[in-house]
Amino acid sequence: MKNHFFTGLLSALLFGLSTPLSKMLVQGTSPLALAGIYYFSTALAVLPFIFRNLPSEIQKLKKSKKDLWMLSGSLLFGGILAPIFLLYGLKLTSATSASLLMNVEPVATTLIAYFLFKEIIHRKDWLGALGIVLAGILLIFEKNWIPSLGGVFIILSTFGWGFDNNFTANIRAITPVTNTFFKGLAGGLCNLTLAFFLKNNFPPTLYDFLGAIYVGTFCYGASILLYTICARRVGAFKSQMIFASSPFWGVGLSLLLLKEHFSLQQALATFLLIGSLGLIFGPLGIFGIRGKSL
For residue 194, which phi and psi values (nearest 5 degrees)?
-60, -45
pLDDT at 287: 36
> How many helices and strands in the chain, by DSSP H and E?
15, 0
Q: What is the CA radius of gyration of the chain?
A: 18
pLDDT in tens, 239-278: 776 787 888 888 888 888 888 888 777 888 888 888 887 7
For residues 208 and 223, give the distance between their C-alpha atoms in angstroms, rounded to a whole number. 21
User: Exposure pattern of 73-96 as b/e (b: 16+ CB <10 Å)?
Assistant: bbbbbbbbbbbbbbbbbbeebbbb
pLDDT at 121 over 80: no
pTM listed for this prediction:
0.85
Q: What is the overall mean pLDDT for the chain?
A: 85
Of 44-48, 56-60, 142-146, 226-230, the one with minimum mean pLDDT is: 142-146
Q: How crowded is residue 169: how many other Cβ atoms within 10 Å of its Cβ? A: 16
Percent of the residues in the chain that have a pLDDT greater than 90, as a whole number = 42
pLDDT at 284: 47
pLDDT at 69: 95
pLDDT in tens, 164-207: 888 988 888 888 889 889 999 999 999 999 999 999 999 989 99
pLDDT in tens, 122-136: 788 788 888 888 888
